[in-house]
Amino acid sequence: MQDCPFCKRLMSSEVLVSTDLSAAFLDGFPVSPGHCLIVPRRHVSSLFEMSDVEQHDLFSLLPVVRRLLDDRYHPAGYNIGMNIGEAAGQTIGHAHLHLIPRYIGDVEDPRGGVRLIFPASARYWELA
């Protein structure tokens, strides 16, 4: 797609690692050093539009990108996430998987992780 920023980046030197079906590059608006996106080469808006083969290929890049980030950035952990649909916060209509390196002290209290999209429910250990 000509207007898709991810399709454009797939054709650039920004690609860190790739296969015939997927590629990874650094997020243009990273939440932490090394924040990467893994995207299908085919322009589809969500994981659910991808074929089983494309999904498998996309997820096969996770450990490859993780090793690259481990070597370059030495994070203490990771968050992995995907926003599917506007209600879930997706802003670019090309499927993409976030691999977000986490560092000791990057936030005051990281407990709850991805649950923090719903702050009132994130601290579940305090609700019991």
Give the pLDDT of the chain (128 residues) as one tens digit per residue: 679 999 999 999 999 999 999 999 999 999 999 999 999 999 999 999 999 999 999 999 999 999 999 999 999 999 999 999 999 999 999 999 999 999 999 998 898 888 887 777 777 667 66
Within 10 angstroms of residue 79's Cβ, the number of other Cβ atoms is: 16
Catalytic residue among 35, 94, 96, 98: 96
Q: What are the backbone angles phi and psi of residue 8, rounded to the nearest 5°? A: -65, -45
pLDDT digits (tens, 9 = 90+) for 50-61: 999 999 999 999
- What is this structure's pTM? 0.92
| Confidence at residue 58, expressed as pLDDT on a 0 to 100 scale | 98
Return the SS3 of 25. strand
Cβ neighbours of residue 108 closer than 8 Å, sequence gap 6 or more: none
Domains and CATH numbers, the chain: 5-127 (3.30.428.10)
74 is catalytic: no
Return the closest-CA partner of residue 95 out of 50, 42, 38, 46: 46
Q: How far apart are CA 101 and CA 73, in angstroms?
A: 8
Q: C-alpha distances in angstroms, 3 versus 41, 93, 125? A: 15, 10, 44
Return the SS3 of 93. coil
| Confidence at residue 53, expressed as pLDDT on a 0 to 100 scale | 98
DSSP category for residue 112 = T
